[in-house]
């Protein structure tokens, strides 16, 4: 399973109870959304975090 290089950053944000959305005013957050939104990345991240 190949997870994106941003996985640790995504985990850090979500573990603090924060959200990652496409319309965030923070460009870094909206860029992370694009990474998650990619179908292959989504599936790999889902499998990674579900464990």
CA 48 to chain CA centroid, nearest Å:
11
**Summary mean pLDDT of the chain:** 96
- Taking Cα atoms as reference points, which of 26, 28, 27 lies closest to residue 6? 28
**Residue 16 DSSP label:** T
| pLDDT of the residue at 7 | 98
pLDDT in tens, 10-40: 999 999 999 999 999 999 999 999 999 999 9
Query: pLDDT grade, residue 1 (50/70/90)?
Result: confident
């Amino acid at each position: 399973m190949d997870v994106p290089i941003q996985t640790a950053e995504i985990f850090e944000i979500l573990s603090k109870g924060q959200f990652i959305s496409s319309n965030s005013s923070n460009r870094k957050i909206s860029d992370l959304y694009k990474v998650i939104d990619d179908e292959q990345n989504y599936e790999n991240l889902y499998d990674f975090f579900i464990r």
